[in-house]
A and B are shown apart, each in its own frame.
Chain A
Amino acid sequence: MGKLASNSPSIDTMLTNASLYGPWVQPYHSRGLAATTAATTTSGYATSTRHPNTLAIPTLTAPVTGVRFTQIEMHSDDSSKLYVAALEYVLGTFVMNTSTFTAGVTVPTKIIRGLSLTGAGILPMLAYTVAGTGTAATFTITYTNQAGTANHSMTISPPTPPIINSAFCLRPHLATGDTAMRAVTDISKTGGTNGTIIVTALLVLQTCIIAPGGASYSGLDLLPVPNIPWIGEAGDVIAFYAFGGVATSDIHAVISGVADV
């Protein structure tokens, strides 16, 4: 079971844990991605790119049970975009040419100060890990919603041909009243030929606004911002998404974290 935060999240606690258990300071650079495919009305208008390389949480050794992210900085050559670093859970994979669905993980339950929070991705996404071909595809996704109710379904029709790493936000397509996904139990399609998609659920760690005019910007400091301090745990991975454009762009990021015990 995951958790959101445990011990006292003070500056002194973090400085102490950095001293006792060693900090995690990890640079990341994704470069040379091809331009992706813009969203349309049928895919939700939220144009996005998923950077394919993800960072795994390092091995945690007792008494360390998680990593508290103290700072995540992101830089890009791009302009007028929103960059997101998030804990990413792959809920399901679908191979189009064989119509093969493989279930992924269920979003873990997180805990904050002893209170269990519903495990559901705040931001559900669909991303192409192999480019699509053929006519426009329509996917029907069967999922468990934020409340744990199974067998809800939604459809989405990405534009064609979707280029690898193109990503689309599923939230506007969820069934009425639904806000998130805990799990995906089936994916099917009509149309399309080849390609592979994944459905992911994101717990957003950091957002970074790249200013107009071309910029390299690192985003607000995490600690003074009243964001949800998701704790990274064993098996978690960090993924990076760009929203607001399809142009090829690099992302350079640095993850800073200290032990949560």
Chain B
Amino acid sequence: MALRTYNNFINAISQGFGNGNGEPFWDEVQTLTVSTPSGSALPIQRLGQSLVLPALPVGVAAYIVTRFLTQTSTTLISCMLAKLIDLGRLDFSGGAPGTFTDGSTMGTATVLGTASAARFSPVICEVTTAMNAAPGTFTITYIDQAGNTAETTAALTPGASAPVRSCGTVALNTGDLGVRDITAAATSAGTTPSGIIQFWGYIPLGFTIVQGANQGYIKNLLTTNCTAFRLGAADVLGCFAFGSTAVKAMVGWVTIVGEET
């Protein structure tokens, strides 16, 4: 049964298509992170492990996230749960131009009745192997939101000695809102550079807000966003914290309901 009403979801949960109390989404940041690349005033930090959705059980056509809950030790941040799209990664070791490993594209989807609409997203960089003290700069080459190819950014600067979980958004060319794909990336200069940056595209599923230390926040996505975004096997869920580079811990859960075939 397609999940098209609130009662459909209640029925599906009562019939065992939910994941109980939720998938745990716990994590902690033990080192102050450094905005990477620099230049973005809004701090972003990777918080929460990746959750790779398992194979669809027999009789289930899609997963739908219905609730997102977080509690963190830091004040005045928001936590974004998102479907993450691996757009590639860049290894700085060995010097320029580094080693770019291509990922996937943002893909297409049916959006507002239009089949195969191309998705685009801002790019979040995540340091997955710590940068050295003088990593130099890097550029990315991308396809923009309108399908224009071979757009290359100005030089971007990783944070010196940025530890893992350091994040930031990429400054795209003037007028660009996001990328459909990253086709290349390269490093430049630096002193015996090292470190790896992962490039993420993302489709946000929900936000929680932390106003006071240790506050919890529960988001019912069915009654706030109403988008009932369909997810599939091997889709990756991840979380980013906006507004802080401080050390912190997060306890959270993601509640998921399966949609019958």
Binding site for B on A (CB under 8 A): 11-12, 14-16, 18-25, 27-29, 31-32, 53, 55, 58-64, 67, 70-71, 73, 75-78, 211, 213-218, 221-223, 248-252, 254, 256-259
Contact = CB atoms under 8 A, between A and B. Distances in A.
Interface in B66-106: 76-78, 80, 82
Given A11-B222, A15-B222, A218-B207, A77 B117 contact: no
Given A31-B39, A250-B41, A60 B6 contact: no
Given A23-B111, A62-B113, A70-B226, A55 B5 contact: no
Interface in B1-55: 2-8, 39-43
A75 B78 contact: yes
Contacts, number: 173
Given A31-B41, A58-B114, A75-B207, 19 more contacts: A11-B222, A15-B222, A19-B4, A27-B82, A27-B122, A28-B177, A29-B122, A31-B39, A58-B112, A60-B112, A70-B227, A71-B224, A77-B243, A216-B42, A217-B76, A218-B207, A218-B209, A222-B224, A256-B204
A22 B110 contact: yes
Interface in B181-238: 202-205, 207, 209, 211, 222-229
B6 to A, nearest CB: 6
B226 A258 contact: yes
A19 B228 contact: yes
Interface of B: 2-8, 39-43, 76-78, 80, 82, 109-115, 117, 121-122, 169, 171, 175-178, 202-205, 207, 209, 211, 222-229, 242-244
Given A11-B226, A15-B5, A29-B169, A22 B42 contact: no
> Nearest 6 A-B pairs (CB), nearest first?
A216-B243, A23-B227, A22-B110, A64-B113, A61-B113, A250-B42
B174 to A, nearest CB: 9
Nearest to A255: B204
A254 B225 CA distance: 11
A22 B112 contact: yes
A250 B202 contact: no
Nearest to A222: B224
Contacts of A59: 112, 114, 117
A16 B4 contact: yes
Given A70-B225, A75-B242, A58 B117 contact: yes
Contacts of B204: 25, 27, 73, 254, 256
